[in-house]
Amino acid sequence: MSKDYLKYYKLEDYIFEEVRNNFNKRGYLLSEEFFSIIIWKANRAKTKIKKRLLERGNVQKSVKELTGEIYKADNLEEKLNILTKEWGFYLPMATAILTVLYPKEFTIYDIRVREQLNLKETASVKKYFSEFLPMVKDFAKKQNLSLRDADRYLWGKSFHEDIKKLIK
């Protein structure tokens, strides 16, 4: 078997292991790897993101350029600004990409998580670093969870609460 298609079934495992490791070794992502992250976060966004990347050339070249810029950026805020300000990604998708690439430094800006933290809209890079991320890190520390597991826990709690409301 030349290609291990089973890895795509457990997409989160694939992106947080193989894709992240490839990024660290190579200094950029291939378009297949990049779109695996996009589809994992929000499958509905893939066509819009592809169109945005095509505006800068072909998809592979654009993905390599974008992810190479992220890899070379000096600090976390610069990495997020590359995605949001320079490439036009919204904060939830930008933080999802960075969470895969830097899971100990970033967490996904997600409405479910934000609501669990009782935070109002904080969809700016500045507020992400000054409010949202510190609150998730604090929650993780208090619960003795990794940053990634704190994100999963808060998302899961919100999801469960929605199910309970649905079946009442």
What does the pLDDT look like over 43-96, one tens digit per residue? 999 999 999 999 998 999 999 999 999 999 999 999 999 999 999 999 999 999
Contact status, residue 125 vs residue 84, Cβ threshold 8 Å: yes
In terms of pLDDT, which residue wins out, 123 or 27?
27
The most distant pair of C-alpha atoms in the chain lies apart, rounded to whole Å, by: 51
Assess whether pLDDT exceeds 90 at residue 3. Answer: no
Residue 123: the pLDDT is 78
Over pLDDT 90: what percentage of the chain? 92
**Confidence bin at 121 (pLDDT 50/70/90):** confident
Residue 2: the pLDDT is 54
Predicted TM-score of the model (pTM): 0.94
Residue 89 DSSP label:
-
Assess whether pLDDT exceeds 90 at residue 122. Answer: no
Assess whether pLDDT exceeds 70 at residue 1. Answer: no
Q: How many CB atoms lie within 10 A of CB 96?
A: 25
Q: How many CB atoms lie within 10 A of CB 63?
A: 22
